[in-house]
Structures are given as C-alpha cells and as structure tokens.
Structure 1
Amino acid sequence: MKKTIELNGNSFDVPAEIENVQALLGHLNLADRIVIVEMNKDILAKEAYDKPINDRDQIEIIHFVGGG
C-alpha cells in the first residue's frame, strides 16, 4: 500500500517498498550524499534514518551541491 507524504512542500507518493527514511533517500538517489533530513519538524540524526515513514508525514531534505 503506497503512502502519500509531503516532500519539500509537495505531495509525493511513496511506493509500498519504501518503509523508512534511509530507503526513501535511496529511492531519490540521495543515499550517498550529505543531506539533512527533517521529519515532522524534527531534524533526524543519521542514526535515526531507520525511522518508519507514515502516511501524511512531512519530510524536508536538503542536500549540498558543489560548484563555483
């Protein structure tokens, strides 16, 4: 069963196999990047990326981009 979350301010359907934040980062091709994740207005430590994603959760992901 898919879930719908708010991801960076937009509605986003999460496939059923994506059960936690770490899996979501992998799905978004962000697993190998330095990111900051906020879930329901709380910043998550990397050790908490196994936290389950629930329907209607609010998730903000900020990743850093290099350049000049």
Structure 2
Amino acid sequence: MNVTINGVAHELPSGATVAEAVKTLTETRNGVAVAVNGEVVSRGAWDSTALADADAVEVLTAVQGG
C-alpha cells in the first residue's frame, strides 16, 4: 500500500501499523509524535493502529538546542 510519510510517498506492506511507519524514519520512540490524516495517535496506540492506502502520516521529532 502507498502512504505519505512527511510528504514523501512510501510503499508499506498491507496492514502496516503506525509503529512500522515511524521505523522508516527513526528507530527512536522518545521525543516522537505522530499524526495520521491530521489526528494525533498516542504512542501507546502505535502498534495497534493500522494504516490504510493513501493515509498521510506526519512524524515529528523533538529537537533540543540553544
């Protein structure tokens, strides 16, 4: 299935979850927030939230600096 992650098309297996989408960008789970089609998905739901074809996923990571 095709999903858009941070504005870039990605091919993921059918039934892929939010957690799998996050792993395409980063292995870390700390300081990461995810929204699917504009709706925030809590970290506890990443493994159980299945994606559908044409979903738009936004993965945001916290950045520290001064």
TM range (shorter): 0.7 to 0.9
Q: Following superposition of structure 1 onto structure 2, how do residues 23-34 of structure 1 map, counting pairs within 5 Å? A: 23-34=20-31
Residue 40 (structure 2) pairs with residue 43 (structure 1): yes
Deviation at 1:37, TM superposition (A): 0.4
Instruction: Give RMSD over aligned pairs.
Output: 2.1
Q: Specify every segment of 5 or more residues in structure 1 that has no aligned partner in the other structure, as ranges.
A: none
Of all paired residues, the percent bearing the same amino acid is 23
1:59 aligns with 2:57: yes
Shift of the alpha carbon at 1:5?
0.7
Letter in 1 for 2:7: G
What's the offset of the Cα at 1:17?
A: 7.6
TM-score normalized with structure 2 length: 0.75
Q: Give the AA of the match of 1:48.
A: A
**Matched-pair contact (CA < 8 Å) for 1:38–1:61:** yes
- Contiguous gaps of at least 5 residues in structure 2: none
CA pair 62-12 structure 1, distance change in 2 beyond 3 A: same
**Secondary structure of 1:49's partner?**
helix
Scaled by the length of structure 1, the TM-score of the pair is 0.73
Moved over 4 A (4+): none
